[in-house]
Amino acid sequence: MEVDSTPVVQVDPKGDVILELTLHGGMKRLLVSSKILSMVSPVFAAMFSSQFKEGLHNTTPGIVPTVSLPEDDAITFEIICNVVHFRHKYVSVDLPCEQLINIAVTVDKYELREAVYTYSVLWLVSAIKRCTDQPLVIWSQLLFVCYVLDTPAEFAKISWEIVLYHVGPYISLSAITDHVLISHSMLAELDTRTVKLHSALLDAINRVLLKPQQAQCDYKGRIVADYLECLSSKGLFPLTNILQEKSLIAICNKLANTEPKRFRCGQRQCAFCNDRKFTFSGFFRDWKDTVFGPQFGICLDCVKTGRESLRKKECRVEHA
């Protein structure tokens, strides 16, 4: 009889079943506990039922039975098995985005969300820190991972980054629109959030343009005209067109650093012209700090329930 010489990784040295998995065209074998896997996964619970165990090949007395999982990635499965078998020193929290996607798909397949939830949060928090300068396609992939692993706080944070930096229709982000595991549309929530922020920005522009109306002199119109000319020279006017061409963060950063040469009438009674504290750029820096402070994009629970969770006040991350 031919004996399989592939080394066995002893995830559980006292394990009672070997999982055979695909590894770069070859195979990897993991010795695991069917009891632990059955406790954390209803899929494995069914797989390791007494009726199924009778059908496992290699049931010779004294030889550990083997289950072949050829469609599953060995590296991903070893990470998950280490997590659920409490082998924490073998689990890294710094995983690349592609690995997180594989984990999310496997977790969904075997219904392991609760079992790996703590590590899901750790993996995503680490990924957020490491992906600061990464393109939006990476952020959209991380948003997919959050959706599948069901991590609401990280979902809100990552979706905020996408809202800030994306330009154009969100449908271009295939990671959150085309995957079979995305059963709820995020596009409507992303569009709604973006429209609200654009409206708030336009309102802020209107409010700052009203500030010169407080001037008690004849130069109100000149002050407004000078500011609009300054905005135009920076490519920020008319703003309704710019909102379709530039990211929200790029527009707000420019507004917070755009200041026209200030005209002052010199009349002692004019409160506006004599106000040394007010600046147009300072107004937008304060506005940005207030509006951007919460760093909240969209709510995972609202996406999955069609906002029913908000109506019932059941969202896990508080928001308006």
Q: Tell me, letter by letter, the H, E, C secondary structure of 106-157.
A: HHHHHCCHHHHHHHHHHHHHHHHHHCCCCCHHHHHHHHHHHHHHCCHHHHHH
pLDDT score of 181 more than 60? yes
**pLDDT tens, position by position, 116-158:** 999 999 999 999 999 888 899 999 999 999 999 999 999 999 9
Percent of residues, the chain, with pLDDT higher than 90: 63
Sort 195 into a burial class: Cβ within 10 Å, 0-12 / 13-18 / 19+: exposed
pLDDT score of 1 more than 50? no
Are 154 and 124 in contact by the 8 Å Cβ rule? The answer is yes
Q: What is the pLDDT of residue 69?
A: 93
Q: What is the pLDDT of residue 60?
A: 63
Which bin fits 267, alpha (ψ -120 to 50), beta or left (φ > 0)? beta
Are 304 and 248 in contact by the 8 Å Cβ rule? The answer is no
CA dist 95 and 305 (Å) reads 30
Q: What is the pLDDT of residue 3?
A: 44
Q: What is the pLDDT of residue 242?
A: 85
CA dist 276 and 9 (Å) reads 71
Q: Tell me the HSE value of 86 on the side-chain side, using a 13 A CA sphere.
A: 3
Q: What is the pLDDT of residue 2?
A: 41
Helix segments in 234-279, DSSP class H: 239-242, 248-255
**pLDDT tens, position by position, 227-266:** 999 999 988 888 777 888 899 999 999 999 998 887 677 7
CA dist 264 and 245 (Å) reads 34
- What average pLDDT does range 157-165 have in this prediction? 95
Dihedral sign for Cα 29, 33, 38, 40, please. Answer: negative
Are 116 and 84 in contact by the 8 Å Cβ rule? The answer is yes
**pLDDT tens, position by position, 57-112:** 546 666 888 899 999 999 999 999 999 999 999 999 999 999 999 999 999 999 99
Closest listed residue to residue 237, CA positions, set 223, 256, 255: 255
Closest listed residue to residue 82, CA positions, set 52, 112, 109: 112
pLDDT score of 55 more than 90? no
pLDDT score of 277 more than 90? no
Helix (H) or strand (E) holding 8: strand 8-10
pLDDT score of 220 more than 80? yes
